[in-house]
Amino acid sequence: MAGATVNLSTFHEIKGDNVQIAEDIARWNPVVNGAFAFSKKQLRAGVSVILEIEGSGRISLGIIKIDPLTLKNRPLYKLNDVSEYIQINEVRVHKRKCSIKYSLESGEGKVVAIYNNEKFTQSFKPGSEVWLAVYVKFGEVTMRLNSEAEADDSPVLSEVIGMNMEFCTNGKNEVKTVSSNPAAICFIGQPLKISQKISFFCEPLKDGRGEKPSRFYLKIYITDKDPKQLQKQHKNLFTVNTTNKSVPQWVCTRVMDRDNCNGQVTIERAADHVIITNGMHERTREDVSADQKSDLWVALDLYRVLVRQVEICIVSMDRPDGASDGYITATSPIHQPTRSSESYASVTGKKSDSEEEITPPVQEDDAVFDLPNFYPLIADEDQVRFECSFNGHFASLVSDLTGIELCDHLIALKVITMADFEKINSKHTSHGQNRELLCLLSKRPVPRSKFIAALEKSGNSHLIKKFFPALPDV
């Protein structure tokens, strides 16, 4: 039977600094990132400095007219914290390495920055001293500063950096962001109890031209800790103004990106598991190890998305004869494609000609069905194990793979865990991250058809033949 729907009037009042809640809408709003870096010495006429940036993100390039050492005791969380900051330009970097050349024009009070063969200038009072300043608005980037006037091993970056930056292990000339998306967490306003279902709509934040961002995601965390407990124990989830870097023990997690988090998302709770349905109507089961009597809180980590229209309803849990513990009664039509049609579509991008014959009928309203432990769905014939050399393509995959975006999909498939991802993400370069990911993949079975779909969704479709050289062209 269907339960009565109750509108939740708001999200929980406890949230991250980079989430804006208004009119029952939670919106990603990156106002605080704490990712400042400065040159150690002032810019000099006739001496160029080169800023190298690698990764993905949006970066503000600028100057300041005071020695960065004077900022040592200031909070460095957002641009407004440094009133002396003057922006030259803002650049967007996506999965690549680029260089920006800075120079000071003699006697003219002008700084010139050259990026992608374009010249950007910023004027200031002639005779003033200026230092290079960089602020990462959001993203995961590594930056290195070199000077034509200094030896390669001489420190060029100031020791003063923002709270969300740290020096790399190879010296004082290279820094990286600690968190690519800090303080972007919020909570559904009420805990999720057994026999309840939470639903909401998620959609990407479009730019001024109405275009979706190239990458956006929603991370769902389920915890038996209430928001106040988490805020007290893990302050780093909510602000960059902390040295705490602890990671909570989530009951379960789910990562959705692109089409998977564009639409209605539902979370249904049974006694020992939850069922999560993404924006593509794909259902997955996540086992819950918490005390069955405990309330579970749903935390949402937003990246370039908004969440709206949250509802909660009661789901019938009366167990009919023959049903297993923790079954859920459907309150809306559900379409579950068979493994055959799903595999065919994920590999070819097309529907099977005989899909009508191999797809089960849609469940009727109020139909009762058992939800077994069906995730992940990997047929024996679909499991593959990669050789350590990846058919001789290991080196080229390290160079060409977009590993971090692929990880988002592999987490969803449970091919890798969040602990695996943290290990991969701890590497300082994209090559190091790719190498770590490939080593992990060589040690465990992988669902071939879904792995191919993950390669396609993460922009790695050109590498499919390197992973599966025997795969016929389709």
DSSP-assigned letters across all residues of 190-242: SPBPTTEEEEEEEEEPP-TTSPPPS--EEEEEEESS-HHHHHHH-GGGT-SS-
| Each residue's pLDDT tens digit, 434-467 | 889 998 898 888 888 889 988 988 888 888 888 8
Lookup: tokens for 70: 């004077």
Tell me the C-alpha distance between 3 and 274, whole Å.
17
Tell me the C-alpha distance between 427 and 424, whole Å.
6
Number of H helices, E strands in the chain: 9, 24
Is 236 in contact with 245 (CB distance < 8 Å)?
yes
Nearest CA-CA partner of 303 in 200, 220, 209: 220
In one-letter notation, the amino acid at residue 465 is K
Tell me the C-alpha distance between 457 and 405, whole Å.
9
Q: Where in the chain is the domain with CATH 2.60.120.920?
A: 2-30+182-336
| Each residue's pLDDT tens digit, 178-235 | 999 999 999 999 999 888 999 999 999 988 778 888 889 999 999 999 999 999 999 9
Instruction: Name residues of the chain where pLDDT drops below 50.
Output: 1-3, 317-381, 474
Q: What is the pLDDT of residue 155?
A: 67
Tell me the C-alpha distance between 370 and 324, whole Å.
6
* Domain 380-467, architecture per CATH: Orthogonal Bundle (1.10)
E-state strands within 317-473: 328-329, 368-369, 383-384, 446-447
Q: What is the pLDDT of residue 473?
A: 55
DSSP-assigned letters across all residues of 150-173: S-TTS--B-S---TTEEE-TT-TT
Q: Which CATH number fits domain 36-177: 2.40.30, 2.60.120, 2.40.360, 2.40.128?
A: 2.60.120
Tell me the C-alpha distance between 331 and 5, whole Å.
11
Is 27 in contact with 19 (CB distance < 8 Å)?
yes
Tell me the C-alpha distance between 466 and 461, whole Å.
10
Whole-model pTM?
0.65
Q: Which residue has the tokens 């003699």?
A: 106
Neighbours of 470 (CB within 10 A): 6
Q: What is the pLDDT of residue 153?
A: 57
Q: What is the pLDDT of residue 9?
A: 52
Nearest 5 degrees, angle CA 8-CA 10-CA 12? 110
Q: Which residue has the tokens 């969380």?
A: 77
Name the helix (H) or strand (E) containing 346: helix 339-348
Nearest CA-CA partner of 260 in 281, 246, 238: 281
Lookup: tokens for 454: 């993950």
- Kindly state the percentage of the chain with pLDDT values over 90: 32
Cβ-proximal residues to 148 (8 Å cutoff; 6+ apart), any chain: 47, 48, 49, 50
Tell me the C-alpha distance between 240 and 175, whole Å.
17
Lookup: tokens for 290: 């918490």
Tell me the C-alpha distance between 228 and 160, whole Å.
32
DSSP-assigned letters across all residues of 94-158: EEEEEEEEEEEETTTTEEEEEETTEEEEEE--TT---EEEEEEEEEEEEEEEEETTS-TTS--B-
Lookup: tokens for 43: 């810019």
Tell me the C-alpha distance between 298 and 267, whole Å.
9
Q: Which CATH number fits domain 2-30+182-336: 2.10.10.100, 3.30.1490.120, 3.50.50.60, 2.60.120.920?
A: 2.60.120.920
